[in-house]
């Protein structure tokens, strides 16, 4: 950041133009968020997501129906697995605030996969958010003009990652075991599962991809298939 403005817009399919300046904030964005005060300093439309990524306040509008289609299908696949096997532990939770332990960052993934036991404990304790070490997988669906935060940073060459921290590097640094990205770009139309997070390099060391229309197979500990027949890229 090179000035007083610390908010950047992360549009999906509509415009959001929040305004907040460093001089307006009595503390860091992360500390204000922890105290439940950050919303008081961000003039964003109701329903917007407010995240803290590498010290920046990032505001995204509410997702569209098309954006939510993959999330519904992933959730249904988990629910079917739980119906077939009463011991299946995994459940999906949409738009839960996620505190990245030790990083001072706040993400709101499109979907998090955790256990029913953890969600019950958090709910019973009336806690406002999940901690990153409580989830097994984060899921993000990319959107027009806003997908840069969700995907791996661009490579400067085949040996070195460009140092551009984003949500992909944040999830890896906090060692969330799995990260699933549904890339709705017409140039990609592909889903990628990242695994084996490496904290030291802030990167996932393994990936597997499926084109839209193919059946995604999530390996153990999930062991489920997800039909992507009806997943579509956004329209340019």
pLDDT tens digits along 89-109: 999 999 899 999 889 999 999
User: Which range is least confidently modeled, 28-32, 54-58, 179-183, 214-218?
Assistant: 54-58
pLDDT the model gives residue 46: 78
Give the confidence band of 50 by pLDDT, cuts at 50, 70, 90: confident
Domains annotated for the chain, with CATH where assigned, are: 7-60 (no CATH), 65-227 (3.90.1570.10)
Give the confidence band of 41 by pLDDT, cuts at 50, 70, 90: confident
Instruction: Please say if the pLDDT value at position 14 is more than 50.
Output: no
Answer whether 0.75 is exceeded by the pTM. Answer: yes
pLDDT the model gives residue 209: 98
Say how far apart CA 92 and CA 59 lie, in whole Å: 23
Nearest to 190 by CA among 130, 158, 150: 150
Sequence-separated contacts (24+) of 72-78 with Cβ below 8 Å: 73/226, 73/227, 73/228, 73/230, 73/231, 74/111, 74/139, 74/180, 74/226, 75/111, 77/224, 77/225, 77/226, 77/227, 78/113, 78/222, 78/224
Q: Rounded mean pLDDT of 144-167?
A: 68
Q: Rounded mean pLDDT of 126-131?
A: 93
Q: Are strands 105-107 and 98-100 parallel, antiparallel or unpaired?
A: antiparallel
Instruction: Please say if the pLDDT value at position 235 is more than 70.
Output: yes
188 neighbors 231 (Cβ within 8 angstroms): no
Q: Rounded mean pLDDT of 179-194?
A: 96
pLDDT the model gives residue 2: 39
171 neighbors 178 (Cβ within 8 angstroms): no
Between 21 and 123, the higher pLDDT residue: 123
Quote the strand ranges of the chain, DSSP E. 7-9, 49-53, 56-60, 90-94, 98-100, 105-107, 111-115, 130-131, 137-141, 178-183, 190-198, 203-211, 215-218, 224-227
């Amino acid at each position: 950041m090179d000035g007083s403005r610390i908010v950047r817009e992360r549009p999906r399919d509509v415009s959001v133009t929040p305004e907040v300046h460093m001089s307006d904030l009595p503390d860091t964005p992360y500390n204000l968020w922890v105290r439940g005060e950050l919303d008081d300093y961000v003039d964003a439309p109701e329903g917007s997501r407010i995240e803290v990524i590498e010290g920046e306040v990032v505001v995204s509008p509410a997702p569209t129906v098309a954006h939510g289609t993959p999330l519904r299908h992933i959730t249904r696949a988990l629910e079917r697995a739980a119906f077939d096997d009463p011991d299946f532990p995994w459940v999906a939770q949409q738009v839960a605030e996620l505190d990245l332990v030790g990083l001072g960052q706040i993400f709101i993934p499109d979907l998090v996969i955790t256990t029913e036991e953890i969600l019950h404990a958090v709910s019973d304790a009336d806690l406002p958010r999940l901690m990153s070490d409580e989830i097994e997988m984060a899921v993000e669906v990319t959107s027009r003009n806003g997908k840069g935060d969700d995907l791996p940073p661009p490579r400067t060459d085949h040996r070195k990652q460009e140092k551009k921290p984003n949500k992909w590097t944040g999830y890896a640094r906090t060692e969330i075991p799995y990260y699933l990205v549904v890339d709705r770009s017409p140039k990609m139309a592909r889903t990628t599962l990242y695994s084996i997070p490496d904290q030291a390099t802030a990167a996932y060391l393994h990936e597997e991809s499926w084109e839209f229309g193919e059946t995604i197979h999530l390996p153990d500990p999930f062991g489920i298939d997800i039909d992507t027949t009806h997943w579509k890229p956004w329209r340019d």
